[in-house]
Chains A and B, each alone.
Chain A
């Protein structure tokens, strides 16, 4: 008799959280979110490398101020005259902003789901370096998000946290005539404030941690199973992280130590 089976001693204590296989998984599905993170993350990695290439113009031997400002000016008018004025710049910014929103949304959702699935239990660290970095991706990510806001206010918009000398007005005159924003001067003035310089350096270290795990995650999220692909990505993750941190963090240090001046 089935009733006897279900009423045997203690049977009512067996957990009955039997979720049937037919109920839908949480939406959006986690694997979709992971693919979105990997895709948008790849965009950010590419962006960071291009951004770095532009930044490094401050180290050009003759007249870095001219080269840096010319480059900044060229960026604003990219794809002219195919797209007039700053059209491309704004398309580019829009795409990056969209990627950022998707990346942050996916990251937060995945983090919440992970915490829920673990339950109220601690986890011991059993050795892998990626344990600590992987588990703190949400925090390094939020620090970077805050930094992006600061960075835009400091050197792009010039509101709130910009240096006293910041000017978005045309202040730098090109040799062939015409005047452009003196982005180089804004950079130097900003980093001459030592707390800001230290902040930039520290954030770059956080970016490096985020990258070293993020780039390694890209290969996993896109389903890379081949041994060679995975080894290459594991190596690239550290190399790119190192390049970004050394390249970018050296600039505020150089300004503070007098290596870069107006």
Chain B
């Protein structure tokens, strides 16, 4: 532990409600420490604001250990913060120098309307899942061991894609506001496992249709995979078209 104290200028987006005008507010934190997470920096700010009898900044967080996908905000215009592939809760003040300005903004995309301050409505992603990101086959009782065979490599690959925590950083990073990395991760993961394969084509049709309804097109720019805190690899975006083209040749659900 260091006793080093850092002085940071915080520019924070304040917006009273979905229809209210937003604005940046500037605050100064004089006792930040390098090992603080960016969310703890906001906590520190909120303590200060409460002491000053000002409304604290509204932001979302839950587990604060990178597995829940609740936290999500733009830091200096980059989803989650300056480090690649790390959620906001895992980003630290040590990425900045004393005297730096840190600008906190909500995730920016048409599909993510601001609810208040740094909180956005990410239910557009939920609607993609509702459209088909689930397995709806009657699995019955547990089968005997080894009747459903999944190779180790397939299982690992499915797990890599299943790692998506649904935070929405891919959308906020994308110049087109596309949700391809998110949708592709779900489609890839469910297409690889036996129960998910049953509805592979049907899922691709409905999820892609819902995705296109609210989110933008992919232009293979690659910002999403740099922002993704779950390390979803860029080929996930190609999975969207692969699955949708495949579904175009299928009449059945699988």
Residues in A lying within 8 Å of B, measured CB to CB? 10, 13-15, 17-19, 21, 23-26, 29-31, 33-35, 110, 113-119, 121-124, 126-128, 130-131, 134-135, 137, 213, 216-217, 219-225, 227, 230
Of all chain B residues, the one with the shortest Cβ separation from A214 is B220
Contact among A14, A18, A115, A130 with B221 in the assembled complex (CB-CB below 8 Å): A130
**C-alpha spacing A183/B198, complex, angstroms:** 60
Task: State whether B175 touches A126 (Cβ < 8 A).
Answer: no
**C-alpha spacing A223/B245, complex, angstroms:** 8
Interface residues of B in 200-249 (CB under 8 A from A): 206, 208-210, 212-223, 226-227, 235, 237-246
**C-alpha spacing A118/B115, complex, angstroms:** 17
The 10 closest A-B CB pairs, nearest first, are A223-B242, A117-B216, A114-B176, A117-B177, A124-B77, A119-B110, A121-B108, A13-B17, A134-B221, A25-B212
Task: State whether B213 touches A26 (Cβ < 8 A).
Answer: yes
A-B contact pairs, 17 of them (CB 8 A): A13-B19, A15-B18, A25-B208, A29-B209, A31-B241, A110-B217, A114-B177, A114-B178, A114-B216, A118-B108, A118-B175, A119-B110, A130-B221, A135-B221, A221-B241, A224-B238, A225-B239
Of all chain A residues, the one with the shortest Cβ separation from B131 is A21
Q: Which residues of chain B are near A122, meaning CB under 8 Å?
A: 77
Contact among B18, B109, B214, B221 with A131 in the assembled complex (CB-CB below 8 Å): B221
Q: Which residues of chain A are near B19, meaning CB under 8 Å?
A: 13
Contact among B173, B213, B242 with A225 in the assembled complex (CB-CB below 8 Å): B242
Q: How large is the interface on B (under 10, 10 to 19, 20 to 34, 35 or more residues)?
A: 35 or more
Q: Which residues of chain B are near A123, meaning CB under 8 Å?
A: 77, 108, 173-175, 223
**C-alpha spacing A117/B175, complex, angstroms:** 9
Smallest CB–CB gap between B245 and chain A, Å? 5
User: Does chain A have a CB within 8 A of B35?
Assistant: no
Of all chain B residues, the one with the shortest Cβ separation from A226 is B235
Q: Which residues of chain A are near B215, meaning CB under 8 Å?
A: 117
Interface 1/0s, chain B 159-177, versus A by CB < 8 A?
Answer: 0000000000000011111
Task: State whether B245 touches A222 (Cβ < 8 A).
Answer: yes
**C-alpha spacing A216/B222, complex, angstroms:** 11
Contact among B115, B213, B243, B244 with A19 in the assembled complex (CB-CB below 8 Å): B213
User: Does chain A have a CB within 8 A of B127?
Assistant: yes
Interface 1/0s, chain B 93-112, versus A by CB < 8 A?
Answer: 00000000000000011110
User: Does chain A have a CB within 8 A of B134?
Assistant: no
**C-alpha spacing A117/B216, complex, angstroms:** 5
User: Does chain A have a CB within 8 A of B254?
Assistant: no
Q: Which residues of chain A are near B121, meaning CB under 8 Å?
A: 14-15
User: Does chain A have a CB within 8 A of B30?
Assistant: no
Task: State whether B220 touches A217 (Cβ < 8 A).
Answer: yes
**C-alpha spacing A114/B239, complex, angstroms:** 19
**C-alpha spacing A23/B214, complex, angstroms:** 11
**C-alpha spacing A231/B118, complex, angstroms:** 38
Smallest CB–CB gap between A105 and chain B, Å? 14
Q: Which residues of chain B are near A220, meaning CB under 8 Å?
A: 218, 220, 237-238, 241
Task: State whether B241 touches A118 (Cβ < 8 A).
Answer: no
Of all chain A residues, the one with the shortest Cβ separation from B244 is A31
Task: State whether A116 touches B241 (Cβ < 8 A).
Answer: no
With A21-B130, A123-B175 known as contacts, the answer to whether A31 contacts B208 (CB < 8 A) is yes
Q: Which residues of chain B are near A18, meaning CB under 8 Å?
A: 123
Query: Other than the known A14-B115, A119-B109, A223-B238, what 11 A-B pairs have Cβ atoms closer than 8 Å?
Result: A19-B214, A31-B208, A114-B219, A117-B109, A121-B108, A126-B173, A126-B223, A128-B223, A128-B226, A223-B244, A227-B235
Task: State whether B213 touches A15 (Cβ < 8 A).
Answer: no
**C-alpha spacing A117/B127, complex, angstroms:** 16
User: Does chain A have a CB within 8 A of B78?
Assistant: yes
Task: State whether B176 touches A118 (Cβ < 8 A).
Answer: yes
Q: Which residues of chain A are near B77, meaning CB under 8 Å?
A: 122-124
Task: State whether A127 touches B226 (Cβ < 8 A).
Answer: yes
Task: State whether A29 touches B18 (Cβ < 8 A).
Answer: no
Of all chain A residues, the one with the shortest Cβ separation from B219 is A134
Which of A17, A116, A127, A222 neighbours the largest number of chain B CB atoms within 10 Å of its CB?
A: A17
**C-alpha spacing A225/B188, complex, angstroms:** 10
Q: Which residues of chain A are near B177, meaning CB under 8 Å?
A: 114, 117-119
**C-alpha spacing A34/B216, complex, angstroms:** 12
Contact among A118, A126, A230 with B216 in the assembled complex (CB-CB below 8 Å): A118
